[in-house]
A and B are shown apart, each in its own frame.
Chain A
């Protein structure tokens, strides 16, 4: 069975400092992994995705994530935080094991990122 764990419910960093949002997953198959961002009163937007190509994935707004199979991790990073990065971030694991793959998309519980001026 697959699962995804976001290790921090809330992360607070100062503007201009690095961001690290942690995600661990469990999957019986080779998974696809995603990070989505949700700004207040908005829907979720895809930041980046890993689908068995390069293990270091670059996304929008300077974010990137590295797939580490040995550690079953997919942590999201950004070198320098900006005030506009304040939002909720979701790690998602997907197993495309067949036609019914909709039931195999699992969301983490989310990490709220706050940016201090």
Chain B
């Protein structure tokens, strides 16, 4: 079983619809992230959470919201989807460990491909 699981893996929706992407992890990590991947742009950070009570905006948070329901669960919502939110979305986790906060090593889910028509 995957350590970081994303659902759904694929979703097609229409402009204006509310969409939720879910992420759950069994790695026991406190830190969770949502990234967006677009061709030629690499991955860009949407939101991140260092624990259940700590949620922070990334570089492209406009149009998105998140919920950290538990240490193991981190959901990304698009309240009113628009076509330029069509992308591949990744959830990731990390473990600071003794010096892990400095290393930045991330563990990724397999991605959720979202198409907004």
Residues of A within 8 A of B (CB): 9, 32, 34, 36, 41-46, 49, 51, 90, 92, 94, 96, 99-105, 107-110
- Contacts A32-B102, A94-B104, A105-B104; is A43 near B42 (CB within 8 Å)? no
**A103, B59: Cα distance in complex, Å:** 8
Chain B: interface residue total (CB-CB under 8 A): 29
Asked if A44 contacts B106 (CB within 8 A), the reply is yes
From the candidates A32, A108, A110, name the one contacting B103 in the complex (CB within 8 A): A32
Asked if A102 contacts B40 (CB within 8 A), the reply is no
- Contacts A9-B40, A90-B42, A90-B43; is A51 near B33 (CB within 8 Å)? no
Q: Mark B24-51, 1 if CB is under 8 A from A, else 0.
A: 0000000101000000111111001010
B1 CB to closest chain A CB (Å) equals 14
Instruction: Give the chain B neighbours of A32 by CB distance below 8 A.
Output: 102-104
B58-117 interface with A by 8 A CB criterion? 58-59, 90, 92, 94, 99, 101-111
A25 CB to closest chain B CB (Å) equals 13
Closest to B104 in A: A94
- Tally A-B pairs: CB < 8 A: 74
From the candidates A51, A102, A108, A110, name the one contacting B48 in the complex (CB within 8 A): A102
Residues of B within 8 A of A (CB): 4, 31, 33, 40-45, 48, 50, 56, 58-59, 90, 92, 94, 99, 101-111
**A103, B54: Cα distance in complex, Å:** 14
**Central interface residue in A44, A49, A108, by most chain B CB within 10 Å:** A44
Instruction: Give the chain B neighbours of A36 by CB distance below 8 A.
Output: 106
Instruction: Give the chain B neighbours of A103 by CB distance below 8 A.
Output: 45, 48, 56, 58-59
Across the A-B interface, give the 4 residue pairs with the lowest CB-CB distance, nearest first. A96-B102, A94-B104, A43-B108, A107-B42
A20 CB to closest chain B CB (Å) equals 19
Closest to B90 in A: A43
